[in-house]
Structure 1
C-alpha cells in the first residue's frame, strides 16, 4: 500500500512541477491590504492547495465529526447495555 501512495505522491509532484515550469508569467495578487508578486504557476498551485484544504475542512465539519459523535454515543449505549446484562461476579455481593 505504501508503494501506491509513493507513486501517487510522485505523480502529483511531477504535475506540480510541470504546472510551475509552464506558467512562469509574473502576476501580482492584490489582496485587501497588500499585494503579492508571484508567478502564475505558484498562484495556481497555491489556489489548488487552499481549495483542497478548505474542502477537507468542510467535509470534516459536516460529515466526519457528526458521524464520530454518533459512533461514540452508540459505543456508550452498547457498553452500558453490556455491563447491565452481565451476571454479578461471585464474592462481590452480601
Structure 2
C-alpha cells in the first residue's frame, strides 16, 4: 500500500512539473493589495489549485470534523456507563 501511495505521489509530481514546463507563458496577477509580475502560467495555476485544496481542507475541518469530534467527546461518558444486563432485573 505504501508503494502505491508513493508511486501515486510521484506521478502527481511528474504531472505538475510537466504542466508547469508546458505552460511557461508569463502572466501578471493583481489581487488589489498584492501584485505578482512575470510568474509562469503553469506555476500560477498550480498555486491556485493548491490554495483551493488547502482552503477546502480548512472549511471541511471547521464545518464537519470539529463538530463531529465535539459531539463524540460529549457523548463518550454516556456511552461508557454500564448497561444493565438481563441478570440485573428483579
Alignment TM-score > 0.5, same fold: yes
Unaligned 5+ segments in structure 1 are 86-94
Residue number in structure 1 paired with 2:74: 73
Pair 1:49 & 2:59 matched: no
Runs of 4+ in 1 over 3 A off after TM superposition: none
TM-score by length of 2: 0.82
Query: Superposition RMSD on alpha carbons, in Å?
Result: 1.6
Pair 1:16 & 2:9 matched: no
The structure having more radius of gyration, on CA atoms, is 1
Deviation track 1:8-45 (CA, whole Å, cap 9, x = no partner) reads 11111011011100100001111212320211011010
Unaligned 5+ segments in structure 2 are 85-90
- Partners of 2:36 and 2:50 in 1: how far apart? 17
Deviation track 1:17-74 (CA, whole Å, cap 9, x = no partner) reads 1110010000111121232021101101000000100111111111111111111112
